[in-house]
Structure 1
Amino acid sequence: MNNVIVYSKNNCMQCKMTKRYLKEHNVPFEERNINQQPQYLATLKQQGFQSVPVVMNSAMDPIVGFRPDSLKELVD
């Protein structure tokens, strides 16, 4: 499995649902919280993202928002 990165922020229901989905399906991921690590906010803005969660993986296009239909592609 390629490295999965989830960009999130505090008090974000879609972020919580995305992380829960990945955990329930045993998909390992690295969380990058833009409230706790503000340097990642600039990274997201440079790439044109305006909301979180953003799920990135080298094998597919970024997923913005809670999208179980797209997240299932990450499940082995």
Structure 2
Amino acid sequence: MKQTVIYTKNMCPQCRATKRWLKEHKIGYQEINTTDNQTAVNHLKKIGVERLPFVITDKGNLTGFKPQLLEKLV
């Protein structure tokens, strides 16, 4: 299984909630904070992502904090 990746930014309540949910469910993840990372921002724009958090798993991707969908993807 590929590691879960989550794109976040500072001061984002949905980002914090998503990370908390992943930790509570003992799901490891790599966080990429976009606050001071223009390369990450450009990458997300290139692939059409407009909202954070953006979660990537081997079963699919999602934006925002959606626990029901997270449960199906991890």
Task: Please report the TM-score for the alignment, with normalisation by the length of structure 1.
Answer: 0.89
Which residue of structure 2 lines up, in the alignment, with residue 25 of structure 1? 25
Q: Percent of aligned pairs with the same residue? A: 34
Structure 2: state its 5+ residue gaps. none
Shift of 1:22: 0.1
* Corresponding position of 1:36: 36
Pairwise mapping of residues 1-76 of structure 1 onto structure 2 (< 5 A)? 1-57=1-57, 59-73=58-72, 74=74
Match of 1:68, as an amino acid? P
* C-alpha separation in 2, matches of 1:16 and 1:36: 17
SS in 2 for 1:10: coil
**Structure 1 residue ranges (4+ consecutive) displaced by more than 3 angstroms after TM superposition:** none
Determine the C-alpha separation between the residues in 1 that align with 2:28 and 2:8. Answer: 15
1:61 CA drift (Å): 2.1
SS of structure 1 residue aligned to 2:68: helix
Deviations 1:13-71 (A, max 9, x none): 000000000000000000000013221001100110111000001x2221100010111
Aligned residues: 73
Q: Which runs of 5+ in 1 are unaligned?
A: none
